[in-house]
Amino acid sequence: MSRVCELTGKGPMSGNNVSHANNKSRRRFLPNLNDVTLISDVLGQSYKLKISAAALRSVDHRGGLDAFLAKAKDEELSAKALKIKKDVAKAQAAA
Protein backbone atom coordinates (compact mmCIF):
# COMPACT_ATOMS: atom_id res chain seq x y z
CA MET A 1 0.00 0.00 0.00
CA SER A 2 1.48 3.33 -1.02
CA ARG A 3 2.05 6.13 1.46
CA VAL A 4 0.04 8.74 -0.45
CA CYS A 5 -2.95 10.77 0.74
CA GLU A 6 -6.05 9.86 -1.28
CA LEU A 7 -7.45 13.41 -1.25
CA THR A 8 -4.43 15.71 -1.59
CA GLY A 9 -1.86 13.46 -3.27
CA LYS A 10 0.67 14.28 -0.54
CA GLY A 11 3.43 11.64 -0.50
CA PRO A 12 6.88 10.96 0.94
CA MET A 13 9.61 13.59 0.58
CA SER A 14 13.33 13.08 0.87
CA GLY A 15 15.98 15.02 2.73
CA ASN A 16 19.02 14.61 4.95
CA ASN A 17 19.69 13.45 8.48
CA VAL A 18 22.31 15.88 9.74
CA SER A 19 24.41 14.78 12.73
CA HIS A 20 26.09 16.99 15.31
CA ALA A 21 29.32 16.51 13.32
CA ASN A 22 27.44 17.75 10.20
CA ASN A 23 27.50 14.30 8.52
CA LYS A 24 24.64 13.95 6.06
CA SER A 25 22.75 10.77 5.17
CA ARG A 26 19.54 10.47 3.15
CA ARG A 27 16.18 9.99 4.85
CA ARG A 28 12.46 10.07 4.02
CA PHE A 29 9.83 12.37 5.47
CA LEU A 30 6.55 10.41 5.47
CA PRO A 31 3.13 12.10 5.51
CA ASN A 32 0.96 11.72 8.61
CA LEU A 33 -1.63 9.31 7.15
CA ASN A 34 -4.72 8.12 9.01
CA ASP A 35 -7.44 5.63 8.12
CA VAL A 36 -10.70 7.55 8.51
CA THR A 37 -14.35 7.02 7.61
CA LEU A 38 -15.94 10.07 5.98
CA ILE A 39 -19.66 10.43 5.30
CA SER A 40 -21.06 11.92 2.11
CA ASP A 41 -24.15 14.00 2.91
CA VAL A 42 -25.49 13.90 -0.67
CA LEU A 43 -25.08 10.15 -1.12
CA GLY A 44 -25.84 9.22 2.51
CA GLN A 45 -22.98 6.74 2.48
CA SER A 46 -19.71 6.37 4.38
CA TYR A 47 -16.30 5.82 2.77
CA LYS A 48 -13.03 4.58 4.28
CA LEU A 49 -10.08 6.64 3.04
CA LYS A 50 -6.39 6.89 3.92
CA ILE A 51 -5.78 10.63 4.21
CA SER A 52 -3.28 12.97 5.84
CA ALA A 53 -4.05 14.89 9.02
CA ALA A 54 -3.81 18.16 7.03
CA ALA A 55 -6.40 16.86 4.53
CA LEU A 56 -8.73 15.92 7.39
CA ARG A 57 -8.55 19.49 8.71
CA SER A 58 -9.22 20.80 5.19
CA VAL A 59 -12.29 18.56 4.85
CA ASP A 60 -13.65 19.90 8.14
CA HIS A 61 -12.85 23.50 7.18
CA ARG A 62 -14.62 23.28 3.80
CA GLY A 63 -17.74 21.76 5.34
CA GLY A 64 -17.51 18.04 4.66
CA LEU A 65 -16.40 15.51 2.08
CA ASP A 66 -18.79 16.69 -0.65
CA ALA A 67 -17.63 20.32 -0.50
CA PHE A 68 -13.97 19.26 -0.41
CA LEU A 69 -14.31 17.02 -3.46
CA ALA A 70 -16.19 19.73 -5.40
CA LYS A 71 -13.16 22.05 -5.12
CA ALA A 72 -10.43 19.39 -5.39
CA LYS A 73 -8.38 18.98 -8.57
CA ASP A 74 -8.89 15.66 -10.34
CA GLU A 75 -5.15 14.95 -10.77
CA GLU A 76 -4.58 15.08 -6.98
CA LEU A 77 -7.34 12.59 -6.14
CA SER A 78 -6.94 8.82 -6.05
CA ALA A 79 -9.09 6.60 -8.26
CA LYS A 80 -11.40 5.84 -5.32
CA ALA A 81 -11.82 9.52 -4.42
CA LEU A 82 -12.39 10.45 -8.08
CA LYS A 83 -15.22 7.90 -8.30
CA ILE A 84 -16.81 9.36 -5.15
CA LYS A 85 -16.50 12.87 -6.63
CA LYS A 86 -18.25 11.82 -9.85
CA ASP A 87 -21.04 10.06 -7.91
CA VAL A 88 -21.57 13.18 -5.76
CA ALA A 89 -21.68 15.44 -8.83
CA LYS A 90 -24.18 13.10 -10.52
CA ALA A 91 -26.41 13.01 -7.41
CA GLN A 92 -26.31 16.82 -7.06
CA ALA A 93 -27.22 17.28 -10.72
CA ALA A 94 -30.19 14.95 -10.34
CA ALA A 95 -31.45 16.74 -7.23
Where does the pLDDT of residue 1 fall: very low under 50, low under 70, confident under 90, or very high at 90 and above?
A: low
pLDDT per position as a tens digit, 53-74: 999 999 999 999 999 999 999 9
Mean pLDDT, rounded, for 68-83: 96
What is the average pLDDT value for the chain, to the nearest integer?
Answer: 96
Is 90 exceeded by the pLDDT of residue 80?
Answer: yes
Residue from 75, 15, 70, 18 nearest 40 by CA:
70
Model pLDDT, residue 95:
81
Q: How far is CA 46 from the centre of its chain?
A: 15
**Cα angle: 49, vertex 27, 18; to 5 degrees:** 135
Can you list the domains of the chain with their CATH numbers? 13-94 (2.30.170.40)
pLDDT per position as a tens digit, 22-38: 999 999 999 999 999 99
Q: How far is CA 57 from the centre of its chain?
A: 10
Q: Distance between CA atoms of 5 and 30, rounded to whole angstroms? A: 11
